Structure 1
Amino acid sequence: MNHIKDGHSVLIIWNGNDQNELSNLMNEVKSLAKIGNVVLENSERITESSRPQSSFDIVLSNWIPPHSISHTDSLLAIIIKVLRPSGRLILKDHNDLTSTLKLNGFINVNKDSGNVFVAEKTKFEVGSKASLKLGSKPAVWKLDDTVESAWNGGNDDDTIDPDQLLDEDDLKKPDKQSLRVCATTGKRKACADCSCGLAEELRGETKETPKSSCGSCYLGDAFRCATCPYLGMPAFKPGEKVMLDLKADI
């Protein structure tokens, strides 16, 4: 009750209460509001058109036992409409209505040990408009000169001649013998993570030539045994290195 001040306009929402208690509550509120206006509304009959928008400073709801008013979203929507900006809703409810009140637009929601909730309406009406003063000339993003020049294609003075990116040493054809030496070790020995093909080449040099156990492997698959290392290869002359003709028709 300490939120009710002299001159406040107060709405009391009631439902099925004892008429004597209701009368006592109204007299108490009138003594606090003094020259203010005090109005009664039944919770089951109040509508959005019952009272003008923003017409009350304080709304008291469910204040008298048995506290049977259900504060639904529709009722809270009516209450926040009839409250003036920064007006307060003071209600009693055994349920925790903190989240419900906030979701219905109330701010600064507080609850005391006696199940009394106090919630405020914002300082402005829902749907209020305000003009924003942005100045006579809005600020414009400007690119750095270097970035802007590059974005626009740059000037001729800033372009680089691609021929200047290579010198004479870059244009020299490498010696074939130098390619047979590892650029990392400087020797004819592949490094651990060789990727130039030298490791494969060296493995090919050390690979032993398969030996025939029957002596007729060179004649072709018709003369080769099931374990012949030349199986699937074309016929060849004895001592000749087996070569596949990749251009031959299949």
Structure 2
Amino acid sequence: MISATMLESLPLSAGDKVLILTTSDTHPESMKSIVEVLSQQISQSGKINVEHVDRLLMAEFSAGTFDVILFGIIPPFTSCQSSAMLAELARVLKPGGKIITQEPVNNEHSELRSRDKLVTDLKLSGFIDVKAVASMPVSNEDAELIKRRHHVESIDVVRVQAKKPQYEVGSSAKLNFSAPKSEIVSEKSTTVWSLTANDMLDDDDAELIDDDELLDESDLNRLDTGHKGGCGGNCSGNCKKEKPKPKKKKACKNCTCGLADENDDAQPKEKTPESACGNCYLGDAFRCATCPYLGMPAFKPGEKIELPATRLTADQ
């Protein structure tokens, strides 16, 4: 039998709608006495619904119906909540509502969850402020029944309390991305930093920095520009000085940068006659019909050829 102290510690208020889930192992007399005690706490304005845990999904309660849900508060504590049941309990609970569950746990590898796993499953189902309050005392008869039912050698019945957030699953709210009022700079505050140079000069108390104080001894030393002109290097390097003529750079033997061509252009060379067909120097046998070298002996390529005077006068 559950103690009266435990019933008084339940977070119930006048006018609450309470859902109590029972199992096949629940004693009818214990259920009746608990309902009578809780009815006094919620007064006549409240309401208590008693539902078998296996018929919860078929009850089709509306979303946000109950303020408090109690599960496993009546011995023996043999049942455990599935993930589907936890999701349904979160649905029928009002935003901000509370759930109190008591179920057996086991830290060994078994079909029972550990205490930490129970807390985690409640969080994954959408509950917040999940707290394992305490371990509940269990009679020897109930303990043996739980061990046989779940095939474990040791059990611990833990009481866990959780809360539903202050919103329904799937609800939405419009976000305001405008700057908050605290970040908006007032016109009065901006005028504090709108001082001009004239404003400071008009103020007799304004302290101005002396320009000479910004320079040290190293800044006052004359820069050595390396210039040695007619002034002996005492000027800033702007005096006129005859500049030496730049030396002409010679091109290498296998020049590919174009410097050799530039040097050749600077010193024009006498052009030697070139053959159009390239065979004029071989003799008449290799010359074309209009070749100016017809009738002349063969010569070496590049050799300067002088035409005889007879070739320069027209035929009579």
TM range (shorter): 0.5 to 0.7
**Mapped contact 2:134–2:160 kept (Cα < 8 A):** no
The alignment status of 1:74 with 2:84, answered yes or no, reads yes
CA distance in 2, matches of 1:172, 1:93: 102
Give the direction of change, closer, same or farther, for the CA distance of 1:68–1:173 in structure 2 (3 Å limit).
farther
CA distance in 1, matches of 2:166, 2:63: 14
The alignment status of 1:20 with 2:20, answered yes or no, reads no
Give the equivalent residue in structure 2 for 1:47.
Answer: 57
Q: What is the aligned counterpart of 1:8 among 16, 19, 23? A: 16
**Mapped contact 2:80–2:104 kept (Cα < 8 A):** no
Give the direction of change, closer, same or farther, for the CA distance of 1:135–1:24 in structure 2 (3 Å limit).
same
CA distance in 1, matches of 2:247, 2:168: 81
Deviation for aligned residue 1:118: 0.4
Deviation for aligned residue 1:41: 0.6
Give the equivalent residue in structure 1 for 2:168.
Answer: 125
**Mapped contact 1:57–1:84 kept (Cα < 8 A):** yes
Question: Structure 2, unaligned stretches of length 5 or more?
Answer: 1-8, 106-114, 136-157, 180-245, 251-316
How many residues are matched? 142
Counterpart amino acid of residue 18 in structure 2 = V
SS at match of 2:16: coil
**Mapped contact 1:26–1:38 kept (Cα < 8 A):** yes
Question: Structure 1, unaligned stretches of length 5 or more?
Answer: 137-170, 176-250
Runs of 4+ in 1 over 6 A off after TM superposition: 171-175
The alignment status of 1:104 with 2:125, answered yes or no, reads yes
CA distance in 2, matches of 1:27, 1:111: 27
Deviation for aligned residue 1:37: 0.8
Give the direction of change, closer, same or farther, for the CA distance of 1:48–1:123 in structure 2 (3 Å limit).
farther
Higher helix share: 2
CA distance in 2, matches of 1:69, 1:27: 23
Deviation for aligned residue 1:100: 1.0
**Mapped contact 2:78–2:104 kept (Cα < 8 A):** no
What is the TM-score with the length of structure 1 in the denominator? 0.53
Structure whose CA Rg is larger: 2
What is the TM-score with the length of structure 2 in the denominator? 0.42
